[in-house]
Amino acid sequence: MRLIRLCAVAATLFSDVSLAGQEELAPEELLLARIKLHMAEVLEKLPNYTCLETIERSRRRAANKRYELIDSLRLEVAYVERKEMFAWPGAGKFEEREFREFVPAGAFGNGNFALHARSVFLSNAASFSYEGETVEGDRRLVRFHFRIPQALSGYSIRVGEEEAIVGYHGFFQADAGTIDLVRLRVIADELPPQLRLSEATDTLEYGRQHIGGTDFLLPLGSELRMIDMWGNEARNRIVFSGCRQYAGESFLSFADPPPDSEPAPLTPAEVQLPAGIVLEVELEARLDLRTAAIGDPVIATVLRSVRKQGKTLVDKGARLSGRIHKLDRTRSSYFAVGFTFGTLEFDGNHAVIASRVEEAGPFFGLYRAYRNSAIQDNTLAVRSTHPMLPAGFRLVLQTIPISNEAKQ
């Protein structure tokens, strides 16, 4: 493999000297320069956009050949002004928080949305060598190897509470005709001992997606594989879907509204609910635990009004919004599913609450151990032979101080 000095190639492309006269530049050097310039244009022209990110986490023990599904996660991810922001589906507001704040457990690497591509194609950190052509279907793909040292890397890997910046090498494949990026594989180098990993590989697939009337080259999905020192393997499969232009949550206008425009809807008044009130609710829709994911919205309806000292605090029919915060499918006899409810809306009022699940059911699919014992971490055990909760499934919640929510 021939090491390509990209700086010399780029300097030639931007000089007044004709490329045809530069006999010292090999065809693969010119091809790499074309791909890098094309990818620079692609990445610089990316709009602010958002996609639904679905993550399927599996594991495989060293002695086994089959992967075991642990759980699935769904998040909204936005790429705005070259930064990534996240939100739970349906939350309506993105936050500039680290991914690990949304998903504190498990093994993850950053870079799926834009970091790897920007590091490889827009920085001077990588060295390259040409590896030839391959054919996939009706496409010819050119392949280049690259390497980025740890000192110039922004790639971080997290396992549990441990996190480290690592150098990496890998390859990319581009369509020989369009020079669009098709595949990017990243292999971590010199993994530090605190991660207890022997291998970490992230493979990203790219394709054209239609956003705002224009086709853009975006990541379609990725697969992250991590193997620990004992041969056990963790695998995260990510799919991006429903990508659309990001317009922000709100805007401010000083212009007068058109004469025939509808009046702006009133913002619900926020009320404070005390800790210790009991809410009896039922799920509005059937929940299939085989296809559900952590982060999915869950809506429940209050079955009875809540009164205190002669005053109605919560009306019957109020809607309680929450999400799945836990969904563990690793047990052979049951699925563990946990809920977090946070917003209550009723009669033009809006309340932010924290709550604890006190009772659930009756429902024959609930694991017997939970019928007469305390419910821990708002988590229910549902028989794997009947992994669903029907519409109308009953829960009894008790509000708790919001400051204590993280402790429950």
What residue has token string 């040409």? 130
Q: Taking CA 204 as the corner, what is the angle to CA 288 and CA 11, rounded to the nearest 5 degrees?
A: 155
The DSSP bridge pattern shows strands 394-400 and 354-360 to be: antiparallel
What residue has token string 């919205």? 297
Closest C-alpha to 326, from 53, 50, 52, 57: 57
- The answer to whether position 20 is within a domain reads no
H/E element holding 30?
helix 27-44
Question: Residue 359: its pLDDT value, please?
Answer: 87
The CATH number that applies at residue 304 is 2.40.128.260
3-state secondary structure of 137: coil
Same domain, 233 and 289: no
Same domain, 62 and 193: yes
3-state secondary structure of 240: strand
What residue has token string 């659930």? 360
The CATH number that applies at residue 149 is 2.50.20
CA 371, 372, 377, 383: dihedral to nearest 10 degrees?
-20
Write out residues in the chain with pLDDT < 70, as ranges: 1-23, 104-113, 249-268, 365, 367-375, 403-408
Question: Residue 329: its pLDDT value, please?
Answer: 85
Question: Residue 175: its pLDDT value, please?
Answer: 97
Which pair of structure tokens corresponds to residue 223?
């697969």
H/E element holding 36?
helix 27-44
Question: Residue 116: its pLDDT value, please?
Answer: 87
Which pair of structure tokens corresponds to residue 4?
């390509």
Provide the total of helices (H) and of strands (E) in the chain, helices listed first: 4, 27
CA 213 to chain centroid: 25
Same domain, 368 and 239: no
CA distance 205 to 236: 14
Please tell me the pTM assigned to this model: 0.78
CA distance 168 to 277: 54
Residues linked to residue 52 through DSSP beta bridges, in sequence order: 76, 241
Question: Residue 262: its pLDDT value, please?
Answer: 55
Same domain, 61 and 199: yes
Same domain, 239 and 300: no
Alpha helices in 217-351 (DSSP H): none
Closest C-alpha to 167, from 143, 193, 200: 200
- The answer to whether position 381 is within a domain reads yes
- The answer to whether position 134 is within a domain reads yes
Q: What is the mean pLDDT of the chain?
A: 83
pLDDT in tens, 89-144: 888 788 777 777 777 666 666 666 678 898 999 988 999 999 999 999 999 999 99
User: In angstroms, how far is the first alpha carbon of the chain from the final one?
Assistant: 57
- The answer to whether position 385 is within a domain reads yes
CA 116 to chain centroid: 16
Domain of residue 361 covers 269-400
